[in-house]
Amino acid sequence: MNKQRCLLVVSGPSGAGKDTVVARLMQTHPEIEISVSATTRAPRAGEVEGVNYYYLSDAEFEAKIARGEMLEYAGYCGRYYGTPKSEVDGRLDAGITVVLVIEVQGAANVKRLYPESTLIFLMPPSIEELRARLLGRGTESAEAVERRLERAKEEMAHAGEYDFTVVNRDIDACAKEIWRILRARQSE
């Protein structure tokens, strides 16, 4: 099997449930490993350095870009987010399936670098449902929620560039569907 087939990219608007669905996927398939991204946004309550993200200053992030240590990176709502090469390359070489939960620009860059990777777009059932989830999460101000919703609409317009789109109505069903896609792809 081509090593790139071990690379799974999941995108979807903020609030679509990417983290929850990926966590469920990894619970049922512990052989899958997640890539921990770097970001310049501040940690949210309960988030842990090296688990949720590597939290960097702008200068630290830019130094990593300059040293060629980022596989991809993008700006999102005024912050940098990126995938360190060290999270991915060694694992692919070892044949380990690695999942990247990243936004659309980064996903497009990964697909250019790894054309055999599998890109899945996770859709919320509707924008209303998305707003309700974002507000219910209570991690962002009302203004930040509106900004994320605007970005969500832009992101959803890119769903057609992905290999597959999965609508997240139910976490379990969604995780199973992603697993089915991945397995089919890896056994092609």
Number of residues that bind ligand 5GP (CB under 6 A): 14
Q: How far is the CB of 188 from ligand 5GP (least distance, A)?
A: 26
Burial of 71 (0-12, 13-18, 19+ CB in 10 A): buried
25 CB-near residues (< 8 Å, 6+ apart): 32, 99, 175, 178, 179
Stretch near ligand 5GP under the rule CB under 6 A, chosen from 26-34, 70-78, 113-121, 160-168: 70-78
The rounded distance, in Å, linking the Cα atoms of 125 and 180 is 20
Q: How far is the CB of 79 from ligand 5GP (least distance, A)?
A: 7
Of all residues in this chain, which one has the CB nearest to ligand 5GP in the complex? 106
Q: Output the CA–CA distances (angstroms, integers) from residue 164 to 29, 35, 47, 118, in the order listed.
A: 20, 20, 29, 8
41 counts as binding ligand 5GP under rule CB under 6 A: yes
The 3-state DSSP class for residue 157 equals: coil
Q: How far is the CB of 44 from ligand 5GP (least distance, A)?
A: 8
Parallel/antiparallel/unpaired status of strands 118-123 and 33-34: unpaired
Tell me the HSE value of 56 on the side-chain side, using a 13 A CA sphere. 19
The 3-state DSSP class for residue 40 equals: coil
**Of residues 87 and 177, the one with the C-beta less far from ligand 5GP:** 87
Task: Scan residues 92-121 and list those touching ligand 5GP (CB under 6 A).
Answer: 101-103, 105-106
Stretch near ligand 5GP under the rule CB under 6 A, chosen from 22-30, 54-62, 76-84, 122-130: 76-84
Stretch near ligand 5GP under the rule CB under 6 A, chosen from 22-30, 80-88, 113-121, 166-174: 80-88
Q: Which residues bind ligand 5GP (CB under 6 A)?
A: 14, 37, 41, 72, 74, 76, 81-83, 101-103, 105-106
